């Protein structure tokens, strides 16, 4: 059985510190074969940097998926063309750096990891994720793959659930990201595809989606956009899911949501 741990969107320094403190314990207790994390907000809530990717690799994360902020830190775009185990959504423009899928070989198995981004309510005109995932699967799905994991980074629950039904039986798991709130709908279809509409986030727990609440509330009261401040200390949350996948059938046999709290000083 393949065991895969997927960590919800790591948000800023407090999120990285949370991973560094909690992940070793999770790896000891759960013994995952592969650890994946969404890195869209890794570098202070805005993309990635060389140092933050290294920090998370050193902490025990193996691979990273992306989202709408993945290119926010333009000084580090070269990371997407390097061997940094970093994906950006596959349905970004073809002229964007990097790649949106990877075949990961581990313990004698090949795991296909796909990063996608939704179109509904998103700020840019991304390519169609349904068409793009069809293209990827037609090229790679029969290549001796033991598991197929899809991160769909999207605002609309309907789009994520639609993707689940569209790919049901063709992939092992559809894991939603982007909203920073874990949903209570972890499930496995009758033919073995797992879904959670949103894995949630890893970061500051006592604000609004990982950001200090005061500025957000001022924005709602005044319609004037105040800065989004990510605290570096305080109560933090780690959201993740653990997947158990039969490598012979590519079917998920168990999906377990994980929520841990810790105080970061």
Q: Decide: 16 and 46 in contact? Cβ < 8 Å.
A: no
Closest by CA to 175, choosing from 164, 166, 184, 165, is 164
Specify the 3-state DSSP secondary structure of 219: helix
Q: How far is the CA of 264 from the CAs of 42, 46, 82, 114, 235, in angstroms?
A: 17, 21, 32, 32, 6
Query: Which among 69, 85, 153, 180 is annotated as catalytic?
Result: 69
Q: Taking the CA atoms of 205, 210, 214 and 220 in sequence, report the sign of the dihedral they define.
A: negative
The reply to whether 180 belongs to the active site is no
Q: Taking the CA atoms of 129, 131, 135 and 138 in sequence, report the sign of the dihedral they define.
A: positive
Backbone torsions φ then ψ of 47, nearest 5 degrees: 75, -150
**Around Cβ 225, how many Cβ atoms within 10 Å?**
10
Distance CA 181, CA 164 (A): 19
Distance CA 199, CA 247 (A): 23
Q: Decide: 39 and 70 in contact? Cβ < 8 Å.
A: yes
Catalytically active residues are 69
């Amino acid at each position: 059985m393949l065991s895969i741990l997927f960590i919800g969107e790591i948000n800023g320094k407090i999120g990285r510190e949370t991973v560094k403190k909690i992940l070793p314990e999770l790896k000891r207790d759960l013994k995952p074969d592969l650890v994946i994390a969404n890195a869209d907000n890794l570098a202070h809530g805005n993309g990635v940097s060389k140092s933050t990717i290294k920090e998370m690799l050193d902490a025990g994360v193996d691979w990273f998926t992306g989202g709408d902020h993945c290119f926010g830190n333009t000084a580090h775009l070269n990371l997407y063309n390097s061997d940094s185990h970093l994906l950006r959504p596959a349905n970004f423009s073809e002229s964007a750096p990097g790649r949106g899928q990877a075949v990961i070989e581990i313990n004698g198995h090949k795991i296909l990891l796909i990063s996608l981004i939704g179109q509904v309510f998103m700020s840019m005109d991304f390519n169609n994720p349904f068409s793009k995932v069809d293209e990827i699967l037609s090229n790679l799905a029969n290549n001796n793959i033991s598991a197929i994991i899809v991160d769909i980074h999207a605002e609309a629950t309907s789009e994520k659930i639609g993707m689940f039904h569209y790919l049901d039986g063709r992939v092992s798991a559809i894991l939603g990201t982007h909203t920073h709130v874990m949903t209570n709908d972890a499930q496995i279809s009758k033919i073995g595809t797992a879904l959670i509409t949103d894995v949630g986030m890893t970061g500051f727990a006592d604000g609004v989606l990982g950001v200090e609440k005061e500025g957000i509330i001022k924005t709602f009261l005044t319609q004037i956009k105040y800065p989004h401040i990510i605290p570096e200390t305080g109560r933090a949350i780690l959201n993740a899911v653990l997947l158990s996948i039969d490598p012979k059938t590519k079917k998920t046999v168990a999906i377990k949501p994980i929520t841990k709290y810790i105080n970061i000083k």
